[in-house]
Amino acid sequence: METLVQNDDFKYVIQDTGSVYFGRELSYTEMMARDDVPFKFKAIINGHIAKDTDLDLKISMHLLEMDTQSFTYRIFEQLKLAVRVCYKTRKRSITGRQTDRWVHKVCPVKQFCAQYRDKVKAHQAVIEEISISKLALMVINI
């Protein structure tokens, strides 16, 4: 008997009072099928992001390939999209011993594209999750 293993650890949508968090493995198609994704964000995906992007693309891969002059990039700036990245650094202790330390950083899409996108492409950092502001989502006109 063959066992089918499906890893959905990074396919989630979580909401708190200020933000909506998306797992890095979610594609736009999967977001459109979920009930816990805000309707207004689905409308933005359907009306604007779908014009420039294949909806089967994962949101994390889209961030790596996205042009900073594109309309989608400007939408993400308006939505206050933030990317949580994780990377390893070396830290020297008082005794002079070096240890590896994991750093988790949440940064806006503009900072991600400028500082961390190339590190993720070079496998020196990992995208953990993506979030959008509920207030920005509420205010944006579609």
What's the pTM value of the predicted model, to 2 decimals? Answer: 0.86
Burial (Cβ within 10 Å: 0-12, 13-18, ≥19) of residue 129? buried
Q: Which amino acid is at 42?
A: K
pLDDT in tens, 82-126: 999 999 998 887 888 888 889 999 999 999 999 999 999 999 999
Q: Return the pLDDT at 7.
A: 63
∠ Cα 108 112 116 (to 5°): 150
Domain 13-139 falls under CATH 3.40.50.1100: no
For range 76-82, the mean pLDDT = 96
Structural domain spans, the chain: 13-139
For range 24-50, the mean pLDDT = 93
